[in-house]
Structure 1
Amino acid sequence: MLVLEFKTYGKSSQFKAIDEAIRTAQFIRNSCIRLWMDVKGTGQNDLQKYCAVLAKNFSFANELNSMARQASAERAWSSINRFFENCKKGIPGKKRFPQFQKDCRSVEYKTSGWKLADDRKTITFTDKKNIGRLKLKGTRDLGFYSIDQIKRVRLVRRADGVYVQFCVDMNRLEELEPSGNAVGLDVGLTDFYTDSNNQTIENPRFLRKGKRRLKMAYRRVSKRVKGSINRGKARQILGKRHLKISRQRKDHAVKLARCVITSNDVVAYEDLRIKNMVKNHCLAKSINDASWYQFRVWLEYFGKVFGKITVAVLAAGTSQECPKCHAIVKKSLSTRTHACQCGCMLPRDFASALIILRRGLATVGHTGSYGLEPCNALAMVRTKLGSNYAVRA
């Protein structure tokens, strides 16, 4: 599934209608959650049928397209199903019980309720919410895809406007010549990552750099009267500041992950549990600012697109093991140089990257965030790179 996003332009009355459609989608989702909580044994089909009951009892719900109502019920069921799956797997801690949504920002249509123009530059929503015709502006060309390939259309409200997302049913696959390289990546806070070739990438620290403007935006919000128009404007400015930082992080992760994947045939990285790492309140802000998980997600995605091998290895002990004699050398986080009795002396992150690469070449493939099938990494390396492959240290 490929998601194409375009910014929309229209009248203020149209954007008010979009906000009303989003509130209606939120109402349907929360009503389905309430039905599941009150009536024991409620299933997915019961939630779909309940959408017709809501449309009959509430006129504003009837104004929303029927497939958009079903999509909202599917959102409710996905949260319920996630809770059941967490209980079955025995995940420790909270099982993420379904919650009522307080701040919904999108409404999703399926294959009806909308119509694209022949030139693919405008879209018209045909339900009774009176959204009407909206202009589309983006860098992608929808003319390459047929209408039958578009399975979902989302209206998403953000701080800087409204966007339309098209979910296109297609598999993105690209072919590249084998580069003959394999690399291990050790992410960090001083440098974004250090690879097994002793190359480092600077940590951009977008949140730290935008801290001054964020403080000013927060100060403006705190000085405005609650419920006033000026407070709403100040909140919108604050939202734009945060949106810019999140876009900077995504842009950095996408470009860097694509560069790493296209330059190597095998990429090994640590299987980090970010949720547990941010419990350290001293490092939580810096870890979130680095956005390691987003970088990993895009590594796995581009690995699937370009047919490259991505391997997540166990992170435990990668910074303590000697890459030369494999002895365990205990060192604190402040110790940045690896010094072993065998005479091996390397920068800590470089030594860790070598261990990550070695583990990656000796383990099976990783089923990542995008559902990649497990594979034998060593067998694929021999097939793609030949039997005379050697790791460059």
Structure 2
Amino acid sequence: MQRSLITLFRAKSCYDLNKYCAVLAKEFPFANQLNSMARQAAAERAWASIQRFYDNCKGKVDGKKGFPQFQKDCRSVEYKTSGWALSDDRKSIAFTDKKGIGRLKLKGTRDLGFYQPDQIKRVRLVKRADGYYVQFCIAVDRTEILPATGNTIGLDVGLKSFYTDSNGLEVENPKFYRAVEVKMKRAQRLVSRKVKVMGGGPAQCSSNRIKSRIKLGRIHLKISRQRKDHAIELARCVIQSNDLVAYEDLRVRNMVKNHCLAKSISDAGWYQFRVWLETFGRIFGRVTIAVNPAYTSQECSSCGVIVKKSLSTRTHACQCGCVLDRHHNAALNILTKAINTTGHVGISVLDCWSGDPPSTVNASGDIPSTPSGANLKGQGASLRKESPRL
């Protein structure tokens, strides 16, 4: 195994790792049992980790660079175009490599008969806390045409309410993690104490501890699914109701460094909500714009004067007579910045209403608030710029 590790880090490209998979298959029986394309898929994931580390080093990313580490417990295997076969009725799938998985019955609401066999590019077998799942990667161009609504909206996310839009509407923050935090802590205590130590030797995993781990894993899995469903439902509703959606270009990874708010920020799931906004924006032909959140809570949406306030100040009161909730005021500023951004890149609001995709929107369907090639260091990186202390 020592020679394998050295060769892995001497590889100059992903193709070198793919070629070395054949060598590993001859040396190790467990690698020989796996399909050749499944081995290549694992090599591609390893190379993606190595390449990300090099990119972070070259880009001088702050903090840890993400040095590649070997995966201790792999819960998924990915096949490309071989090593699997769907049944004629598309109700079961058979894995034909030497691992002995055999035929599995598929349970779900997806109609695989709608897609052609050559559209399925990859199949992944995933182990979760409540069972095994088969994921299909399908090459399909999903687009839907919706009539123009003539509406534009700005969104300001928060912890008290999930988001507040420029119309003053507040959406409640469900706080899925907080709702079951007591139950989760108890399950974690059961996992911690179900360990056998016999004769002063190493700790052994008991059957009760395995059951406790599964129980804890199901709690985490339910929370993640609730958070995902909530993000999908809200994002789809917002995109279908508006032609232009503006939101904050937050760096959540930097914001969770604040240990006082890290748990609440992670529980909110802002980044996942943004991902689904951009995804549905591409599907329905809507324009999504990420703007710099700096001073959006401080600037008055009526006169533009900077009114300094701390995080504890929840109401924006300006000398011009404008009195609004701080999140409503920030949402109005976000929408104003987004419209100004579309004006700078040659997109008018009428172009956005027509449903035609603008030529300056990048591949993700998102119009960035920073020009191409500009330094992103510090952009939306902390809460201090949005709400500096007095």
Query: Scaled by the length of structure 2, what TM-score is found?
Result: 0.85
Residue 35 (1) aligns with residue 3 (2): no
Q: Distance in 2 between matches of 1:216 and 1:48?
A: 45
Q: Distance in 1 between matches of 2:4 and 2:159?
A: 43
Match of 1:319 in 2: 297
Shift of 1:32: 6.6
Q: Distance in 1 between matches of 2:69 and 2:349?
A: 44
Match of 2:347 in 1: 376
Would you say the 8 A contact 1:195–1:350 is kept in 2? yes
Indicate the larger mover: 98-107 or 282-291: 98-107
Q: Distance in 2 between matches of 1:377 and 1:205?
A: 37
Would you say the 8 A contact 1:32–1:76 is kept in 2? no
Would you say the 8 A contact 2:148–2:353 is kept in 1? no
Q: Distance in 1 between matches of 2:8 and 2:66?
A: 15
Q: Are the structure 2 counterparts of residues 145 and 259 from structure 1 closer, same or farther at C-alpha, using a change threshold of 3 Å?
A: same
Match of 1:252 in 2: 230
Match of 2:92 in 1: 122
Shift of 1:182: 0.4
Q: Distance in 2 between matches of 1:383 and 1:235?
A: 52
Q: How does 1:20-59 map to 2 (within 5 A)?
A: 34-37=6-9, 39=10, 42-59=12-29
**Paired amino acid for 1:106:** S
Q: Distance in 2 between matches of 1:116 and 1:365?
A: 50
Shift of 1:376: 3.4
Would you say the 8 A contact 1:83–1:97 is kept in 2? yes
CA RMSD of aligned residues (A): 2.0
Q: Distance in 2 between matches of 1:255 and 1:268?
A: 18
Q: How does 1:248-327 map to 2 (within 5 A)?
A: 248-327=226-305
**Paired amino acid for 1:113:** G
Q: Distance in 1 between matches of 2:241 and 2:4?
A: 48
Q: Are the structure 2 counterparts of residues 268 and 296 from structure 1 closer, same or farther at C-alpha, using a change threshold of 3 Å?
A: same
Match of 1:205 in 2: 175
Q: Are the structure 2 counterparts of residues 31 and 269 from structure 1 closer, same or farther at C-alpha, using a change threshold of 3 Å?
A: farther
**Paired amino acid for 1:285:** K
Q: SS at the partner of 1:115?
A: strand
Q: How does 1:222-241 map to 2 (within 5 A)?
A: 222-226=192-196, 227-241=205-219
Q: SS at the partner of 1:346?
A: strand
Match of 1:350 in 2: 328
Write the deviation string for residues 259-314 of structure 1: whole angstroms up to 9, x where unpaired.
00000000000000101111111100000000000000000000000000000000
Q: SS at the partner of 1:137?
A: coil
Give unpaired runs (5+ residues) of structure 1.
1-26, 367-373, 386-393
Shift of 1:178: 0.6
Identity of aligned residues (%): 65
Q: Distance in 1 between matches of 2:338 and 2:311?
A: 23
Q: SS at the partner of 2:122?
A: strand
Q: Distance in 2 between matches of 1:181 and 1:280?
A: 36
Q: Distance in 2 between matches of 1:290 and 1:64?
A: 40
Residue 152 (1) aligns with residue 122 (2): yes
Query: Scaled by the length of structure 1, what TM-score is found?
Result: 0.85
> Which of 162, 187, 208 does residue 132 from structure 2 map onto?
162
Q: Distance in 2 between matches of 1:58 and 1:375?
A: 58
Shift of 1:172: 0.9
Count the aligned residue pairs.
Answer: 348
Write the deviation string for residues 11-34 of structure 1: whole angstroms up to 9, x where unpaired.
xxxxxxxxxxxxxxxx9xx98764
Q: How does 1:176-187 map to 2 (within 5 A)?
A: 176-187=146-157
**Paired amino acid for 2:166:** S
Q: Distance in 2 between matches of 1:105 and 1:31?
A: 25
Q: Are the structure 2 counterparts of residues 33 and 324 from structure 1 closer, same or farther at C-alpha, using a change threshold of 3 Å?
A: farther
Would you say the 8 A contact 2:246–2:290 is kept in 1? yes
Shift of 1:171: 1.2
Q: Distance in 2 between matches of 1:131 and 1:229?
A: 24
Write the deviation string for residues 339-393 of structure 1: whole angstroms up to 9, x where unpaired.
1111111111111100001111111499xxxxxxx883646336559xxxxxxxx
Q: Are the structure 2 counterparts of residues 224 and 272 from structure 1 closer, same or farther at C-alpha, using a change threshold of 3 Å?
A: same
Q: Are the structure 2 counterparts of residues 294 and 377 from structure 1 closer, same or farther at C-alpha, using a change threshold of 3 Å?
A: farther
Q: Are the structure 2 counterparts of residues 92 and 377 from structure 1 closer, same or farther at C-alpha, using a change threshold of 3 Å?
A: farther
Would you say the 8 A contact 1:32–1:47 is kept in 2? no
Q: SS at the partner of 1:363?
A: helix
Q: SS at the partner of 1:311?
A: strand
Indicate the larger mover: 240-249 or 79-88: 79-88
Q: Are the structure 2 counterparts of residues 206 and 200 from structure 1 closer, same or farther at C-alpha, using a change threshold of 3 Å?
A: same
Would you say the 8 A contact 1:311–1:365 is kept in 2? no
Q: Distance in 2 between matches of 1:211 and 1:87?
A: 37
Q: Distance in 2 between matches of 1:228 and 1:377?
A: 64
Shift of 1:75: 0.8
Q: Distance in 2 between matches of 1:87 and 1:102?
A: 24
